[in-house]
A = this chain, B = another copy of it.
Amino acid sequence: MKVLAILLAALVLVTSAASRQGTTPNIKEVFIGRCWDYQEIRYNTILPIEPKNCSHLWDLFFKAFSYHAPCDVRQANYDQYLQEAKQSLPANKAMFWSGIYNLAHQFSDNGINYVTLEDTLIGYLANSLTWCGQENYPGMNFSACPTWTDCPLEASESFWSGASTTFAASAIGPVVLMVDGSNPNKPAYRRDSFFGKYELSGLNVSKVPSVHVIVTHALGAAKLEVCGNGTLVTLQNDVEARGMTYTCDDNPDSVMYLLCAEKPDCRECKLAKALASGQLSYNSSVITPDYIMG
């Protein structure tokens, strides 16, 4: 999914680094190395590991797009690979994100707090890679790949739509979705986002009773959308229409502290520090006692 952000950013900037857009050099070595690393080390104490043959996974992945023209790849091409690479998820841990990458991954903490698509083998292997096919040997184009907007929609989204659908279908128990309520260029919820198109519809409602939405607001930025207004009303309707319970929280404490860790000089963060260090006294009549003491 990070690759989407990178490609969109490249498009906006009208990138000059054309050569960076070809298939990632040494993609086979990276893919197979990540696959063993994932299973043997990175996630072997965090997620249930179902041993996979990494060379076989590469063969299936490579087969999906190699020796095809770059835009001639449908989601179905990846079906066999996704079927082979998919894994069981621990219950109550699945987390989705839309429009916000870094904070979402700090929050999920590499599968320790929550499991995102990028913490699954499918997402981990492909994250930040670029790849595309060509009809001639070696079947991959290392000099230039089209951007997502150059290809018909299905080809552009063929891998990540399948990966998102597979991930959503594996979720068990309540799930979390993090969205950005402070982005002036993008609503917090969009039906044409990956979450809106593939993940919400991919959830198995017999196994997922509820969706808990976390709306984040950058420190010092306008709160353009909060729980209960704007596109979050649409989101609530869409979640409930699928028969799941919807809950929503604006910048919960744990998210606020992650934001403060990056910008400790923001006013709300400095106040917190002053209080903790005893420089500040509080007016007990204003406080809900069990909030403070509880």
Q: Which residues does A use to contact B, with CB under 8 Å?
A: 24-26, 29-37, 40-42, 54, 106, 128-129, 252-258, 260-262, 264-265, 267-276, 279-283, 286-288, 291-292
Contacts and interface: CB of A to CB of B under 8 A. Distances in A.
B270 A272 contact: no
Contacts of A253: 260, 264-265, 269-270, 273
B281 A271 contact: no
Given A24-B40, A33-B36, A292 B272 contact: no
Given A128-B41, A254-B261, A272 B276 contact: yes
A269 B255 CA distance: 12
B32 A29 contact: yes
Nearest to A26: B36
Given A29-B54, A34-B37, A254-B262, 10 more contacts: A30-B37, A33-B37, A253-B265, A257-B258, A257-B272, A270-B291, A270-B292, A275-B282, A281-B286, A283-B283
Contact of A34 (B33, B256, B274): B33
A34 B41 CA distance: 12
A129 B257 contact: no
A55 to B, nearest CB: 9
The residue among A26, A276, A292 with the most chain B CB atoms within 10 A of its own CB is A276
A287 B280 CA distance: 6
A34 B282 CA distance: 51
Given A41-B128, A257-B264, A275 B283 contact: no
Given A37-B30, A276-B271, A258 B256 contact: no
A265 B290 CA distance: 12
B282 A288 contact: no
A41 B30 contact: yes
Contact of A275 (B25, B40, B275): B275
A216 to B, nearest CB: 13
A258 B129 CA distance: 30
A258 B260 CA distance: 8
7 contacts: A29-B32, A33-B36, A41-B128, A257-B261, A271-B282, A274-B288, A279-B286
Contacts of A33: 29-37
B281 A269 contact: no
A40 to B, nearest CB: 6
Nearest to A127: B41
The residue among A260, A262, A267 with the most chain B CB atoms within 10 A of its own CB is A260
A258 to B, nearest CB: 5
Contacts of A34: 33, 37
